[in-house]
Structure 1
Amino acid sequence: MSLVTALRTLRIAERPNLIWVEIETDDGRTGLGESFRGAQAVEAVLHETVAPFLIGRDARHIEAVSRHLMTPYLGFHSASAEVRAASAVDIALWDLAGQRQGEPVYVALGGGMRDRVRAYNTCAGYSYNTAGGVRRSVGGADASVGPYDDQVAFMRDAGALAESLLAEGYTAMKIWPFDDHAAATGGHMISLADLKAGLEPFVKVRKAVGDRMEVMAELHSLWSSHAAARICRALEDVGVFWAEDPIAKMDDAQALADLRRQTRTPICGSETLAGTVPFGKLLAADAIDMVMLDLAWCGGLTQGRKIAALAEAHAKPLAPHDCTGPVTLIAGLHLALHAPTAIFQEVVRATLSTWYRDLVTELPVVREGMVLAPRAAGLGTQLQPAVRTRADATVRVSGRAR
């Protein structure tokens, strides 16, 4: 047996959306998990609801824990605080499983389909998503704070940015130049002038590097179906790899299926969904071309591999999301190595090269545009010891911590 003895949460004021979970067991091991957004709400769920259930249970029985935490009486719709808490716990339990087996998590899941997976760079900046909110706006395009402030760069000169990425070995990138145009109408329509402005970065990429770079369009669930259709049809001429989360309600299978019939642009969704049911409905309705999931929001690796199995059953590619935190990135990589139809692992070079390194002991290695398989047991990383002693750290423990 491997009984859970303590559940510890850590969050830091500098990155207020992030929360980490450490689960200790009586065999001396510690598993690491992570979730994102509403960290204080997730913390409350973990200590008030999850910890009383989990402490004293056998950490080996991950499926039973997942089933219990992913079916609360209240709180299950998309990636609620309950689901985000369940996701962090599940990732930590799989970290423990890999440690017990002496194998990386992707091997513990059943083995790898590959020993590396293609990366795409999400062109975000250094503090995107984490420093007090979501920096969706791409305005202020001259306010670069460093060489990898790619969100500024894709509005300033997307062609030069593409050349920079190619020089580092990346052959795929994701940008979101339409976002600023949604506010004027609440996303219900987009004018021809705004449509042209949003297309310009994609045109610049094609002019600069031709077909050497795949480009994804992120639409951030900001648009009505009519406006999304107009954008997706316009994107056909620049050959985007996918349009991601094009409509406001990404669990609306009928609306997405209708959109997909109106455009040749492939539709990708969605990091915002949790559990197998919404993904199953989208796939059954033939509403998406690619499956995107976030392991810190969908229910962790247990739910993630079931969603991956649904993608495989419908012959759809899979691409784990990361624009949140380093543990989610590593967990997503393990799934991408294991899942048969996985084609990409998202990375953000701005964070991968800077503050991610301050938080965890090991990070994925990106070489010539490919993310290499971790070799250490479990997830293969731990929180840096200095994180728990930071002046801005909030540490809370349930159970008997070591």
Structure 2
Amino acid sequence: MTASRITAIRTLRVPERANLCWIEIETAEGLTGLGEAFRGAAAVEGQVHDLVAPYLLGKDARDIERHHRFLMTPYVGFGSSSAEIRAASAVDIALWDLAGQRLGVPVHEALGGLSRDRIRAYNTCAGYDYNSRQVRREVDGKENATGPYDDQIAFMRSADELAHSLLDEGFTAMKIWPFDGAAAASGGQLINLDDLRRGLEPFEKIRAAVGDRMEVMAELHSLWSLPAAARICNALAPLKPFWVEDPIAKMDDALSLAELRRAAPGVPICASETLGGKVAFRDLLVAGGTDVVMLDLTWCGGLTEARKIAALAEAWARPVAPHDCTGPVTLVASLHFALHAATAIFQEVVRATLATWYRDLVTDLPVLEKGFVLPMAGPGLGTRLTAETRKRAATRESRA
């Protein structure tokens, strides 16, 4: 019996963050690795206990690549960011956490070391509960802010003041999505000139207020047809967005993304946090469908798959940018990846969640300094669920 034999797999969920599910993997040596899943938490939890645990229990936790290949190739659900792949992602993160703990080094060192000592952050201008509940919050700029960092209200109402606020905290990049509200009227098939004008206003305010001191990313949330996305992109071009993210529905349509890049050559395209597995990213790169490769560790296959996707991106001379608008463990794991991956350019953060409920759930979070994120200290991921989180969580366990 090896000391690194997996003896238990546990899932934990708290009711106020219904989209999140944590995975803990215990080994015979007394270590516990932590992973996180996001969206469809109940489906992921079922996948973990019904299909993952029977395979993983009793196996050697050191064999990360072996387990990764098995879990990433289920009989069904392998071709997307499915419940199967989201479960595999969370397990993979937990296994890398165990690897770092076992070696006594941070995950970024276990992966092969740092490519940089810090990484630039951009603030996704979301509110305090963005993405953390089952129902998505929609705003039109008329709602009242719920605190000083309710940036989703701020970018619709006073984007100029928001840009100054972020600069004051050291941020030099931000992401907003003022076109989203216009998509519902036509199902995203077209955008009229009036809606286009309203969507451009926050970008214009930011440029008028702070000039080129702030990079601005436009998020389109996979809401638009190709012609509508092209119209938005071409209208944005004079305002110099750093990228336009996930412009069409759906983002596995690599040929349409390539056509969009030709139709709107003045705007870089970023794609896509919604893709799962390296093959989808290979197809995107082969088609010429993106300028920046964005991936989400909890949807793409975890750290093991993220390294392979980053290698593909590097081969196509594309930078990578890990996504986080999800949960604190995802952010921590993404930071380890972003500091390790040679072509990473940004780490996404949400200052509203960093300042509030992320802190309530885990023991340690990344430190921001003058607009840059610093490496985590300590072995493994460098963070754990707090005692209070564990006490309140509904827990399900599979044991060898």
TM (norm. structure 2) is 0.98
1:214 maps to 215
How far 1:132 moved relative to its partner? 2.3
1:322 maps to 324
- Is the contact between residue 362 and residue 382 of structure 1 (CA under 8 Å) also seen in structure 2? yes
Q: Distance in 1 between matches of 2:42 and 2:279?
A: 27
Q: Distance in 2 between matches of 1:355 and 1:35?
A: 17
2:188 maps to 187
* Deviations 1:168-215 (CA, angstroms, capped at 9, x unpaired): 000000000000000000000000110010000000000000000000
1:163 paired with 2:203, answer no
Q: Distance in 1 between matches of 2:26 and 2:115?
A: 30
Q: Distance in 1 between matches of 2:220 and 2:167?
A: 24
Secondary structure of the structure 1 residue equivalent to 2:17: coil
Whichever residue aligns with residue 324 of structure 1, its letter is: T
Whichever residue aligns with residue 65 of structure 1, its letter is: H
Q: Distance in 2 between matches of 1:132 and 1:267?
A: 28
1:396 paired with 2:396, answer yes
- Is the contact between residue 141 and residue 156 of structure 2 (CA under 8 Å) also seen in structure 1? no
- Is the contact between residue 126 and residue 350 of structure 2 (CA under 8 Å) also seen in structure 1? yes
Match of 2:111 among 103, 109, 117: 109
Kindly report which structure 2 residues correspond to 1:9-158, keeping only aligned pairs within 5 A, or say none: 9-135=11-137, 137-158=138-159
Match of 1:358 among 357, 360, 370: 360
Q: Percent identity?
A: 68
Q: Distance in 2 between matches of 1:285 and 1:133?
A: 34
1:266 maps to 268
- Is the contact between residue 17 and residue 133 of structure 1 (CA under 8 Å) also seen in structure 2? no
How far 1:288 moved relative to its partner? 0.2
- Is the contact between residue 119 and residue 374 of structure 2 (CA under 8 Å) also seen in structure 1? yes
Q: Distance in 1 between matches of 2:152 and 2:79?
A: 31
2:389 maps to 387
Q: Distance in 2 between matches of 1:87 and 1:317?
A: 22
Secondary structure of the structure 2 residue equivalent to 1:395: strand
Q: Distance in 1 between matches of 2:323 and 2:374?
A: 17
How far 1:388 moved relative to its partner? 1.7
In the alignment, structure 2 segments of 5+ residues that lack a partner are none
How far 1:133 moved relative to its partner? 2.6
How far 1:385 moved relative to its partner? 1.0
How far 1:389 moved relative to its partner? 1.3
* Deviations 1:343-391 (CA, angstroms, capped at 9, x unpaired): 000000000010000000000000100000112110000000111211x
Secondary structure of the structure 1 residue equivalent to 2:190: coil
Secondary structure of the structure 2 residue equivalent to 1:297: helix
Secondary structure of the structure 2 residue equivalent to 1:14: helix
- Is the contact between residue 142 and residue 156 of structure 1 (CA under 8 Å) also seen in structure 2? no
Whichever residue aligns with residue 307 of structure 2, its letter is: R
2:197 maps to 196
How many matched pairs?
397
Whichever residue aligns with residue 133 of structure 2, its letter is: A
How far 1:138 moved relative to its partner? 2.5
How far 1:140 moved relative to its partner? 4.7
How far 1:277 moved relative to its partner? 0.3
How far 1:139 moved relative to its partner? 1.8
Secondary structure of the structure 1 residue equivalent to 2:159: helix
Q: Distance in 2 between matches of 1:61 and 1:115?
A: 29
- Is the contact between residue 290 and residue 318 of structure 1 (CA under 8 Å) also seen in structure 2? yes
* Deviations 1:255-289 (CA, angstroms, capped at 9, x unpaired): 00000011110000000001100100111111100
* Deviations 1:277-319 (CA, angstroms, capped at 9, x unpaired): 0100111111100000000111000001100111111111110
Whichever residue aligns with residue 145 of structure 1, its letter is: T
How far 1:75 moved relative to its partner? 1.6
1:367 paired with 2:369, answer yes
1:294 maps to 296
Q: Distance in 2 between matches of 1:379 and 1:161?
A: 32
Q: Distance in 2 between matches of 1:329 and 1:37?
A: 15
- Is the contact between residue 359 and residue 387 of structure 1 (CA under 8 Å) also seen in structure 2? yes
Whichever residue aligns with residue 150 of structure 1, its letter is: D
- Is the contact between residue 123 and residue 154 of structure 1 (CA under 8 Å) also seen in structure 2? yes
How far 1:101 moved relative to its partner? 1.0
- Is the contact between residue 141 and residue 157 of structure 2 (CA under 8 Å) also seen in structure 1? no
